[in-house]
Amino acid sequence: MATVTLPEAEMQDKKISNKQAATKYVYFFGGGKADGNGKMKDVLGGKGAGLAEMSRASVPVPPGFTISTEVCNIYFKNNNSLPKNIEGEISQALAQLEQQMGKKLGDPSNPLLCSVRSGAKFSMPGMMNTILNL
47-94 pLDDT per residue, tens? 899 999 999 999 999 999 999 988 988 998 999 999 999 999 999 999
Polymer length of the chain: 134
Q: Are 93 and 26 in contact (CB under 8 A)?
A: yes
* Phi, psi angles (nearest 5°) of residue 16: -70, 130
Confidence band (pLDDT; 50, 70, 90) for 9? very low
Is 80 exceeded by the pLDDT of residue 41?
yes
Cα-only R_g, the chain: 15
> Which domains are present in the chain?
2-131 (3.30.1490.20)
23-38 pLDDT per residue, tens? 899 999 998 999 999 9
Q: Are 44 and 65 in contact (CB under 8 A)?
A: no
Beta-sheet strand order (sheet of 26-30): 33-34, 26-30, 64-67, 2-7, 114-119, 130-131
* Residue 132: predicted pLDDT: 56
